[in-house]
Amino acid sequence: MSANPSVPEQRLRALKARIEAACRAAGRSPESVRLLAVGKAKPARAIRELAGLGQRAFGENYVQEALAKQRELADLALEWHLIGPLQSNKARLAASCFAWLHSLDRTKLVPLLAAGRQGLPALEVLIQVKIDDEPGKHGVAPAGLAALAEAVARHPELRLRGLMTIPAPLDLDHRRRAFARLRELFERLKRDHPEIDTLSMGMSEDLEVAIAEGATLIRIGSALFGPRPAHPTDAERDAESLH
């Protein structure tokens, strides 16, 4: 890295220092935590800049927004993760243009994803769990997790890799307990699915407590790309796409 680092480079350095400190505090190696850069609402050129600094894995919330960026960045070998809620009518398309899905939350999507993935390497799948019982939030309830995992395991086009959660935006102690519960669910699921290896939890504000509770992949937007402009809510997007 250069002597006069750009803003993205400064942000990346600062973030890596946070990750290293959190790993040290947790007695973990920094290599045990993967960084997913979340570029939602940011232009392709911001992703290109970060790719130039060595970042490879990028997360997007919306299929159409991701496709536009993938076209602009087709010259780069990037790994794309879909982390936002997935509508059934976009499941086949999503399965064909992402390497990872973090937001599987219902059985209905499983055959659609498998169909969309035909002839490609297996789609890496994380099940999103609704760990706080907030109304209107996405994710499968813990009670439905085992059945959903079984459904994924029946399809060779899909590879179950683990779990993802977004805790309620309460204080860090609350979030830490939510992450601990996800980890317990992960350990339990591992008995029937020993291949799972990924706990996707932790964002810009709470990555330290997520790493303390065993996150293996953190999803970071604002700490890398700066604050986001106001973004339509999921509900507004869903409504929009019905037209």
Query: Residues 166, 182, 211, 212: which binds ligand PLP (CB under 6 A)?
Result: 166
Which part of the chain contacts ligand PLP (CB under 6 A), choosing from 19-27, 131-139, 143-151, 214-222?
214-222
Which part of the chain contacts ligand PLP (CB under 6 A), choosing from 27-35, 73-81, 117-125, 217-225?
217-225
Burial (0-12, 13-18, 19+ Cβ within 10 Å), 45 = exposed
Question: Whose Cβ is closer to ligand PLP: residue 94's or residue 114's?
Answer: 94
Structure tokens at 155: 């399809």
CA 161 and chain centroid, separation: 12
Q: Decide: is 11 part of the binding site for ligand PLP (CB under 6 A).
A: no
Cβ-proximal residues to 108 (8 Å cutoff; 6+ apart), any chain? 88
Written as one string, the DSSP assignment of 192-242 is H-TT--EEE---TTTHHHHHHTT-SEEEESHHHH-PPPP---HHHHHHHHT
Shortest Å distance, C-beta 199 to ligand PLP:
13
Burial (0-12, 13-18, 19+ Cβ within 10 Å), 68 = middle
Question: Whose Cβ is closer to ligand PLP: residue 92's or residue 138's?
Answer: 138
Q: Decide: is 37 part of the binding site for ligand PLP (CB under 6 A).
A: no
Query: Residues 55, 61, 198, 216: which binds ligand PLP (CB under 6 A)?
Result: 61
Q: Decide: is 38 part of the binding site for ligand PLP (CB under 6 A).
A: yes
- Smallest CA-to-CA distance from 165 within 200, 141, 135, 212 is with 200
Q: Decide: is 66 part of the binding site for ligand PLP (CB under 6 A).
A: no
Measured CA to CA, the distance from residue 2 to residue 26 in angstroms comes to: 30
Shortest Å distance, C-beta 228 to ligand PLP:
7
Q: Decide: is 83 part of the binding site for ligand PLP (CB under 6 A).
A: yes
Please give the residue ranges that form the binding site for ligand PLP (CB under 6 A).
38, 40, 61, 83-84, 166, 203-205, 219-223
